[in-house]
Amino acid sequence: MTLTPRLAVLMTLPPLLWAGNAVVGRLMAGEVPPLTLNLMRWSLTAVLLLPFAWRALRPFERIRRRAGYLFAIGLLGVGAFNSLQYLALLTSTPINVTLVAASMPVWMLAVGALFFGERPTPRQLAGAAFGLAGVAVVIGRGSLETLLAVRLVPGDLFILLAVIGWAVYSWLLARPPAHMRGSERPDWDWAGFLLVQTLFGVAAAALFTAGEQALGTHPIRWSWGVAAALAYVSLGASIVAYRCWGLGVAEGGPALAAFFNNLTPLFAALLSALLLGESPQPFHGVAFALIVGGILVSSGALARRLP
């Protein structure tokens, strides 16, 4: 596969936009409650998708027959992942959050082995060890003493839960039930499938937000900055990023996509320094190198297995 300028742009835009999403989530702490922010983000995304994808909602019977599966992927991919990410950003930094999220291949291997019968190869296990080491460096803030004392901030735990949930979501997409395969799969395009997932995810996000409000939280502090943030996370970090990612993966393949995805912490570090004054620390560089090294080792294992 030749890395053309078009493919490089398609692969680079999503991690840049997702890094921006992490920075925006940090900026909105104190302005919009995190679970409310997620509900507003995806509700606006659904409204923006409707003019292009409303046909996916008809006939309703084909959605009703698949409601259990669609609710599961909507809950994990829209409702839970982003809610936990915004919760994480209340007590952790965008750099930490994106570095922990970059360990995704580790959890993909674990979920595949535990629930889908996909046995990892030795090289994949070695890559996972690198990724876990990178996460440990982030959680320990570069200090073995801190790591051994297990003094975790809540944000570290929230993003770990989010990443594990996303791994399950990814496997559910890769191994869908019979009614989502072959001739049984509805003829949804990318926008239609994203809209259906989003609507189920919004239902889950609404329940989370109701719980947040019931437990007591501060009201939304409306401003032009909040409005701009909502426009960015719903249009840029959701629709544009997802569309570019889908095109990039289809054109360049998942191995190349995994490498580009690990640009997210780098972009988060640059944006955090520029917009938040949170400069990266030396241990962030160590963690980034370990996680990218793990991806390269695992990708090498996958490449060797291709015919």
pLDDT per residue as tens digits for the range 222-251: 999 999 999 999 999 999 998 898 888 778
- 14 and 239 Cβ atoms separated by less than 8 Å: no
pLDDT per residue as tens digits for the range 164-216: 998 899 888 888 899 998 889 899 998 999 999 999 999 999 999 999 999 88
Cis peptide before 176 (omega within 30 of 0): no
Residue 123 lies in a domain: yes
List, in sequence order, every beta strand (DSSP E) within the chain: none
- The structural domain count of the chain equals 1
Residue 287 lies in a domain: yes
- Give buried/exposed letters for 3-38 (b at 16+ CB in 10 A, else e): eeeebeebbebbbbbbbbbbbbbbbbeeebbbbbbb
Cβ contacts of 214 within 8 Å, gap of 6 or more: none
Residue 182 lies in a domain: no
- 127 and 291 Cβ atoms separated by less than 8 Å: no
Residue 173 lies in a domain: yes
Q: Which domain holds residue 75?
A: 5-177+187-305
pLDDT per residue as tens digits for the range 88-126: 999 888 877 877 777 777 787 788 888 888 787 777 777
Residue 12 lies in a domain: yes
d(CA 253, CA 250): 6
Residue 229 lies in a domain: yes
Residue 235 lies in a domain: yes
Max intra-chain CA distance, the chain: 59
Residue 255 lies in a domain: yes
